Amino acid sequence: MKNLNFLITIVGPTAIGKTALSIALAKHFNCEIISCDSRQFYKEMKIGTAVPSGDELNAATHHFIQNKSIFENYSVGDFEREALLKLDELFQKNNIQIMVGGSGLYVDAVLRGFDDFPDIAPAIREEIKAEFEINGLHYLQNKLKELDPIYFEKISAENPQTLQNPQRMMRFVEVCLGTEKPYSSFLNQKKNKRNFTSIIIGLEADREMMYERINRRVDLMILEGLVEEAKNLYPNKKLNALQTVGYRELFDYFDEKTTLEFAVEEIKKNTRRFAKRQLTWFKRTENVIRFDFETDKKDIIAYIEKKIKQPI
């Protein structure tokens, strides 16, 4: 049975036009916007994360934008809980709400939820972190391969970039060590129920156009003061929130490892790579209806209204 609440979710690569579409939809349906961009949460990171402009923020009510500090620990699980509570509140006012963002993991958290994992003792987490700092990423990779070979082979085949993500790898290993069970044994144990029906809109463009838009956005960020913003954040460069495209490259420039010109080109290149990963993620997402980024917003609205009016 279809829920009578509808969450319209807009996904797609960076710089594709998700913000503009979300505002148009929020105005049309007289509703609010949940942002699930995992870096726009942080109030210290405005320019480099392409936070919506003042005019855009005033055009519709937004939630989860610049509501946290880089010094706070904030996980995808925290976001899932807070976003669902906010949606429960918003659905009392309007049975249609909007969610927008390019962080696939955070989108999935709200739409589908995650598997339950036991609490892990902080001492185990600290021990794994210390081993990683001494022995590097290979330690984590080898440890996961030893403790959960099935899951190691699965992500090697389906999502190999995860093997290069220290935070994710530490999590896998800590669950294995802390529970004395394979990480994969906790997956797919239950179905998370949601009190809404999802309508997922994916924006896309041909690769050349997508790259051109990304390059223009980076140039605009530099003009708006990204270098100065990154300079102010530089003393805290080791914080997890700052391990982000647009900042890492400028930190290398401040460390005199590169020139500014090279750093800017690296930001463009790494943003293009990030966009490709976003596309890969959302291609795996089920039930996404894809539109070219230049599609008239009226046509997208007409599609959504048709979906909402379909019989239960």
Q: Nearest Cα to 41, choosing from 278, 244, 273, 271?
A: 244
Average pLDDT over residues 278-282: 87
| 100 shares its domain with 201 | yes
Residue 162: domain span: 122-186
Instruction: Check whether 254 has a pLDDT greater than 90.
Output: yes
Q: Give the pLDDT confidence of 90-112 residue by residue, as tens digits.
A: 999 999 999 998 888 899 999 98
Question: What integer pLDDT is reported at residue 310 of this predicted model?
Answer: 82
If 0-12 CB within 10 Å is exposed, 13-18 middle and 19+ buried, where does residue 140 land? buried
Please name which of 64, 65, 58, 66 lies closest in space to residue 27, comparing C-alpha atoms.
58
Q: What domain count does the chain have?
A: 2
Residue 236 has pLDDT above 70, yes or no: yes
Q: What is the pTM of this model?
A: 0.79
Query: What is the rounded CA–CA span in Å between residue 171 and residue 155?
Result: 14
Residue 248's pLDDT is 95
109, 128: one domain: no
- Segment (H or E) for 160: none
Mark whether 175 and 237 lie in a shared domain: no
Are residues 133 and 281 located together in one domain of the fold?
no
Residues making up the annotated binding site are: 12-19
Q: 73 with 27, same domain?
A: yes
* Residue numbering of the annotated binding site for substrate: 14-19
Residue 255 belongs to a domain = yes
Write out the two tokens for 2: 């279809």
Are 263 and 204 part of one and the same domain?
Answer: yes
Say yes or no to pLDDT of 285 above 90. Answer: no
CATH of the domain at 140: 1.10.20
Structure confidence by residue, pLDDT tens digits, 138-196: 999 999 999 999 999 989 988 788 898 888 899 999 999 999 999 988 887 665 789 99
Annotated binding residues for ATP, written as ranges, equal 12-19
What order of strands is seen across the sheet that includes strand 6-11?
Answer: 62-63, 33-35, 96-100, 6-11, 197-204, 288-292
Relative to beta strand 62-63, strand 33-35 is parallel
Assess whether 59 and 87 both reside in one domain. Answer: yes
* Same-domain check for residues 199 and 127: no
The DSSP output letter for 7 is E
Q: Is residue 1 in some structural domain?
A: no
Based on the domain organization, do 75 and 137 belong to the same domain?
no
Determine contact, residues 178/118, Cβ cutoff 8 Å: yes
pLDDT of 62 higher than 90: yes
pLDDT at 119: 81
Q: What is the pLDDT of residues 198-214, one digit of tens each?
A: 999 999 999 999 999 99
**Predicted pLDDT of residue 64:** 97
